[in-house]
Amino acid sequence: DVKVTQSSRYLVKRTGEKVFLECVQDMDHENMFWYRQDPGLGLRLIYFSYDVKMKEKGDIPEGYSVSREKKERFSLILESASTNQTSMYLCAHRTGVGNQPQHFGDGTRLSIL
Amino acid sequence: GQNIDQPTEMTATEGAIVQINCTYQTSGFNGLFWYQQHAGEAPTFLSYNVLDGLEEKGRFSSFLSRSKGYSYLLLKELQMKDSASYLCAVRAEFSGGYNKLIFGAGTRLAVHP
Share of chain B above pLDDT 70, in %: 99
Supply the pLDDT for residue A98.
67
Check CB contact under 8 Å for A90 and B91. Answer: no
Check CB contact under 8 Å for A44 and B103. Answer: yes
Q: Are strands A108-112 and A10-13 parallel, antiparallel or unpaired?
A: parallel
Bridge partner residues of B10 (DSSP): B109
Contact of B39 with chain A, judged by CB distance below 8 Å, is answered with no
pLDDT, tens digit (0-9, with 9 covering 90-100), for B64-95 = 999 999 999 999 999 999 999 999 999 988 77
- Residues constituting chain B: 113
Supply the pLDDT for residue B94.
77
Supply the pLDDT for residue B63.
98
The nearest CA of chain A is from the CA of B50 a distance in Å of 9
Residue A2 has pLDDT above 70, yes or no: no
Of A58, A101, A105, the CB nearest to B48: A101
Asked if A31 and A50 count as a contact pair (C-beta separation under 8 A), the reply is yes
Residue B78 CA to residue B26 CA, distance in Å, equals 31
pLDDT, tens digit (0-9, with 9 covering 90-100), for A38-90 = 988 889 999 999 999 999 999 999 999 999 999 999 999 999 999 999 999 99
Mean pLDDT of B1-28: 94
User: In a mutagenesis test of the A interface, which of B24, B47, B99, B103 is the best target, namely the one with the most A β-carbons within 10 Å?
Assistant: B103
Supply the pLDDT for residue B95.
75
Residue B42 CA to residue A29 CA, distance in Å, equals 18
CA distances from A73 to A5, A47, A49 (A): 10, 14, 10
Backbone angles phi, psi at B81, to 5 degrees: -70, -10
Residue A97 has pLDDT above 80, yes or no: no
Residue A30 has pLDDT above 90, yes or no: no
Asked if A63 and A76 count as a contact pair (C-beta separation under 8 A), the reply is no
Residue B46 has pLDDT above 80, yes or no: yes
Supply the pLDDT for residue A111.
97
Supply the pLDDT for residue A34.
97
H/E segment holding residue B13: strand B9-13
Of B35, B96, B105, the CB nearest to A40: B105
Mean pLDDT of B40-51: 94
The nearest CA of chain A is from the CA of B12 a distance in Å of 21
